[in-house]
Amino acid sequence: MSAESGLRFVVAEPFHAKALDRLKQFGSVLELSDSSPQTLLNAIGDADALLVRARTHVTARILEAASRLKVIGRAAPSCDHIDLRVARQRQIGVVYAPAAATRSLVEFTVGLILAAQRRLLDYDRRLRSGEFASLRAPISREMGRLTVGLLGMGLVAEAVGKTMADAFGSRIVYADPTGGRPVELKAEEVSVEQLLRESGVVSMHLPLRSTTKQFLNAGRIAMLSPEAVVVNTTRGGLIDTLALADALKSGRLAGAALDVFETEPLPMNHPLRNAPRCILTPHVGCVTKDSDEAVFEVVEDVLRVLRGETPQYPVPCEAEPEASAAVGV
């Protein structure tokens, strides 16, 4: 397969220059100025492959207009915003990059766990306002004396658990009502209720589905110890953030660290913005120079599909289309 193959690639969002050069070896590349539905509809008719990142919505209408489309490549670790059911019906392959940003996200998640549990940003803010001696009373515990509860189990959860166990000696427990199980991590499987009661740190790792939306609701937040912290780098919709903000303001929860939100950007009037002991970051857990380059290896899977070969990372046939969420890499 070469440029003479006449393949046509439509790239709906900015891609790494090396990835674009690779595609140009096998055909023409149309880079769209935006990924609006009408722009996609105008471009997709004779495309052999569509490449997207985090924000493009590949709807049934767009797929039905793509008479030649053979494969969609999503340079991200999830398949949000793609109508997988229609793609399967039309025999369009979908490939993605589930492992490309794992290391970056694991590092970021562990960093948030430590910062939230030791209240680093709270100390910084209060010291800058003039406090000092009053801040030195012991309020945190060593990680080796805490239980880290993983709500959900997958590549990132497993690596977070292994890091916390190996580096600090934390006890690791997990619960995953969607059926996720660890491959190598030695962790105790417990009920959701036991995990919430016993964990000093709760790290969210569930997929966002109709059954997991606002999984950590007011009732489950009430099960947490007042000394617990909640960390979410996965999906904003997993947590009832109004209930979380209320728990923080009332002192029923020690802290939280969130990189993802139900609506992004987080609305200016959202109570989380004024919640105490709450670290907020702008959905950057996966964003490093290394992961930015790695996700574009999805291009090689796109080319494998076009050659009739088995891709390394096809979206599983049983994957359930995830609930709408703001996802970025």
Is residue 311, in this structure, part of any structural domain at all?
no
- Domain match, 55 and 194 both: no
Prediction pTM value: 0.82
- Domain match, 183 and 37 both: no
Which amino acid, residue 307?
R
- Domain match, 125 and 235 both: yes
Which residues pair with residue 73 across a beta bridge?
51, 95
| Active site residues per annotation | 235, 264, 283
70, 92 Cβ separation under 8 angstroms? yes
Is residue 315, in this structure, part of any structural domain at all?
no
What residue has token string 């996700």?
A: 295
- Domain match, 170 and 241 both: yes
Q: How confident is the model over 100-121, as pLDDT tens digits? A: 889 999 999 999 999 999 999 9
Q: How confident is the model over 261-311, as pLDDT tens digits? A: 999 999 999 999 999 999 999 999 988 888 888 888 999 999 999 999 999
Is residue 323, in this structure, part of any structural domain at all?
no
- Domain match, 242 and 296 both: no
Is residue 184, in this structure, part of any structural domain at all?
yes
The predicted pLDDT at position 292 comes to 80
Q: What angle do CA 243, 121, 279 make, to 5 degrees?
A: 30
301, 312 Cβ separation under 8 angstroms? yes
Is residue 325, in this structure, part of any structural domain at all?
no
Into how many domains does the chain fold? 2
Residue 154, domain CATH: 3.40.50.720
3-state secondary structure of 55: coil
Residues with Cβ within 8 Å of 166's Cβ and at least 6 positions away in sequence, in order, are none
- Domain match, 127 and 238 both: yes
64, 40 Cβ separation under 8 angstroms? no
Is residue 90, in this structure, part of any structural domain at all?
yes
- Domain match, 120 and 164 both: yes
- Domain match, 44 and 122 both: no
The predicted pLDDT at position 140 comes to 93
The predicted pLDDT at position 33 comes to 94
Q: For residue 11, give its domain range.
A: 3-100+289-306
Which residues does the chain have with pLDDT short of 50?
A: 321-329
Tell whether omega for the bond before 265 is within 30 degrees of 0, i.e. cis.
yes
Is residue 326, in this structure, part of any structural domain at all?
no
- Domain match, 50 and 158 both: no
The predicted pLDDT at position 317 comes to 60
The predicted pLDDT at position 327 comes to 36
- Domain match, 52 and 164 both: no
- Domain match, 186 and 222 both: yes
Give the whole-angstrom CA distance, residue 66 versus residue 180. Answer: 34
- Domain match, 128 and 90 both: no
Is residue 109, in this structure, part of any structural domain at all?
yes
